[in-house]
Amino acid sequence: MNPVTLKQIAEELNISVATVSKALKDYPDVSKKTKALVKELARTLNYKPNTFAVNLRTRESKTIGLVIPVIVHHFFSNVIKGIVAQAEKKGYLVIILQSNESYELEKKQIDLLLNQRVDGIIISLANGTADFTHLKHVLEMGKPLVMFDKIAKIVPCSKVVIDDRKAAYLATQHLIDTRCTRIAHFRGALLPQNSIDRFLGYKKALLDNGLPYDPSLVYICECDDRSFEEGQENARQLLKDHNDVDGIFINTDLVAIGAMTEFNKQGVNVPEDIAIVGFSNWFMSSVISPTLTTINQPGVQMGKAAFKRLYREIKAIKKNKPIAPKVITLETELIKRESTK
Amino acid sequence: MNPVTLKQIAEELNISVATVSKALKDYPDVSKKTKALVKELARTLNYKPNTFAVNLRTRESKTIGLVIPVIVHHFFSNVIKGIVAQAEKKGYLVIILQSNESYELEKKQIDLLLNQRVDGIIISLANGTADFTHLKHVLEMGKPLVMFDKIAKIVPCSKVVIDDRKAAYLATQHLIDTRCTRIAHFRGALLPQNSIDRFLGYKKALLDNGLPYDPSLVYICECDDRSFEEGQENARQLLKDHNDVDGIFINTDLVAIGAMTEFNKQGVNVPEDIAIVGFSNWFMSSVISPTLTTINQPGVQMGKAAFKRLYREIKAIKKNKPIAPKVITLETELIKRESTK
DNA sequence: CTGAAAGCGCTTACAG
DNA sequence: CTGAAAGCGCTTACAG
């Protein structure tokens, strides 16, 4: 069965397409009687406006794009959930693409979304992204852009983040407060701002407490799909390199769980021999043994906040109002569990 | 900057819009010279066709819809990954919505996608879905529909599944082969076909091996966001109800891990006292201790297969060819690990 | 080989 | 209060 059009309704009622259109949208200059007739018939015929035509006329698609490094990831799937839920409330649909942590792919995905003429884009950067012209391009096209989690400070768009530096500081301070004196750090990849910030927070906490900063205690993990294994490997290496470490602040829960597994295997007791603080508060962290002390990173909330901000900017642009980029920082908290003393 | 249109190119070159359109699409009836000129200018002006107009003309959106019960779920996020990747290869984008296991919401999401005029829909049903008119409606609109994982046999559309009954049979047989004689089952919710099939496979394996089927050994879990806790609760209850159980086949890895955690806590040894087989092969299953014997459920592959099938049907419908629903069954395998003897 | 024309289905400024 | 007209940007059957 072919979808009903305004024209069909108009012919049926012997009025014009223009009037039907206006009646359905409750324009004040249509008589109540006509409105009632039109609406009644529209309902019985199950009329649905043709989105393609509406899009073409109104120049908006009521669709936004989302680019994330990986879909199969607890934090990002939580963010997706938040964005999709919030978008739906406002009548927006979400197209999702993943960059696989590749700059090239990220560029391509942005291009696809622009061609699709989405009304706005939300993105968390790939680890490999060091050039931002594709993102500036989005802004030049007059499309709102919101970054979250892995952001680029230099791009003048709104951002939804947590205070990574502060959270890392808190995590490290907690290790110090529980009498750790030789604290290692498993950091994330080199480029992402959040892994830089977490590293800086770790370092500052050490220095503020009069502990020396020792670069040889900092291990890197790419945090790709091998996170767990990276945790194991780093733990193994750490035990070889340093037998005096008594605490580790780890960039991500999954890496931390990998490390704990390795320590278990090698008979190193957590937290007695080595205390561990993770990051993100993945649900498994409260469930493994010992349960993992960690920083809560509110994924769903970040997704919601990112869409809300994007929505404001979409509205603003529609009204030709200028938009001032805003950085929204969500609260995190340290969740103390068994992996620290 | 405003996007370039065909009209602008036409004016610049003093030819008609029609010729520009045809030149760009390599119609055979345009001179090589004109084509070269047009393509050259289109490139320098960075011309991109207006998707809204193309959609309206061609009556297709190159967009598909995906409805899943939950996004934050290892299996489903793997499926998303497979679908999105495969769709992108064919120039399709994916709009994702979640039903939260609610029939009402699922109905609404389908409606949204139809209004958006997606070219096809892929769905895994909500646990709560017992009525299928919304899905039949999709087919009546002439839109291809592909179900995966949680399907409804009664809806005449293509499906991508695994042989749940066979896989469950294998899992149970493995427990029997390793000398379990009193085998419990933690099943999924009552309605979904796959949890019914897994239950039936369990039951058949028992009977085929001359073991009695005891309904009191079957525990239910909704497998919503409390899966882990449900596993713990069922394990606790099982220990109270039956002290003679020596094996359990569990509907999902996460529930199984919950159960194992509870057994650990209560000093019940896995696999010596109770052997466990899970289902899905979540990556954590190879990582916990003891590692979990399970059935591998190929999420990414299922996603890819679902899109491939949908794509075929979209093409067929475009050519007015009839489509014969097809059931695609992917292979699974039993992965033996430490949780069974 | 090129272009005029019609049309996809809608919205909205304007005339009456 | 109603409707004719223009137009969003493209595609394609048809005429020349």
**pLDDT, mean over chain A:** 94
pLDDT at A19: 92
Give which of A282, A240, A273 is closest to A258, Cα–Cα.
Answer: A282
C-alpha dist (Å) from residue B239 to A32, B230, B246, B291: 69, 14, 11, 21
- B275-324 pLDDT, tens digit per residue, is 999 999 999 999 888 999 999 999 999 999 999 999 999 999 888 888 89
Buried b (16+ CB within 10 A) or exposed e, B209-241: eebeeeeebebbbebeeebbbbbbbbbeebeee
pTM of structure: 0.93
Q: Which of A94, A97, A116 sits opposite B51 (nearest CB)?
A: A116
The residue of A287, A292, A301 whose CB has the most chain B CBs within 10 angstroms, and thus the best one to mutate to test that interface, is A287
- Residue A88: list chain B partners with CB under 8 A: 97, 112
**B117 or B30: which carries more pLDDT confidence?**
B117
Stretch among A199-208, B4-13, B269-278 having the lowest mean pLDDT: B4-13
Nucleotide nearest to A16 (CA to C1'): D3
Nucleotide nearest to A56 (CA to C1'): D8
CB-CB contact of A196 with A183 (8 Å): no
Look at strands A218-220 and A183-187 and give their pairing: parallel
Is the minimum distance from the CB of B50 to strand D below 7 Å? yes
* Percent of chain B scoring above 90 in pLDDT: 85
Is the minimum distance from the CB of A51 to strand C below 7 Å? no
pLDDT at A134: 97
The whole-angstrom distance between B210's CA and the closest CA on chain A is 38
Output DSSP code: residue A49.
-
Whether residue A181 has pLDDT greater than 80: yes
Give which of A124, A136, A100 is closest to A303, Cα–Cα.
Answer: A124
Cβ contact, residue pair B228, A287, below 8 Å: yes
pLDDT at A1: 58
- A245-293 pLDDT, tens digit per residue, is 999 999 999 999 999 999 999 999 999 999 999 999 999 999 888 999 9
- Residue B48: list chain A partners with CB under 8 A: 114-115
Cβ contact, residue pair B93, A112, below 8 Å: yes
Nucleotide nearest to B6 (CA to C1'): D9
- Residue A70: list chain B partners with CB under 8 A: 81
> Taking residues A191-213, what's their average pLDDT?
96
- What Å value separates CA B67 and C1' C9? 28
- A290-312 pLDDT, tens digit per residue, is 999 999 999 999 999 999 999 99
Is the minimum distance from the CB of A43 to strand D below 7 Å? no
Stretch among B23-32, B116-125, B130-139, B147-156 having the lowest mean pLDDT: B23-32
- What Å value separates CA A9 and C1' D3? 15
**pLDDT, mean over chain B:** 94
B62 backbone dihedrals φ, ψ, rounded to 5°: 55, 35
Cβ contact, residue pair A95, B63, below 8 Å: yes
**Domain architecture of chain A: domains with CATH:** 6-49 (no CATH), 61-161+299-331 (3.40.50.2300), 164-297 (3.40.50.2300)
Output DSSP code: residue A124.
-
- Residue A81: list chain B partners with CB under 8 A: 70-72, 98
Whether residue B43 has pLDDT greater than 90: yes
Whether residue B263 has pLDDT greater than 70: yes
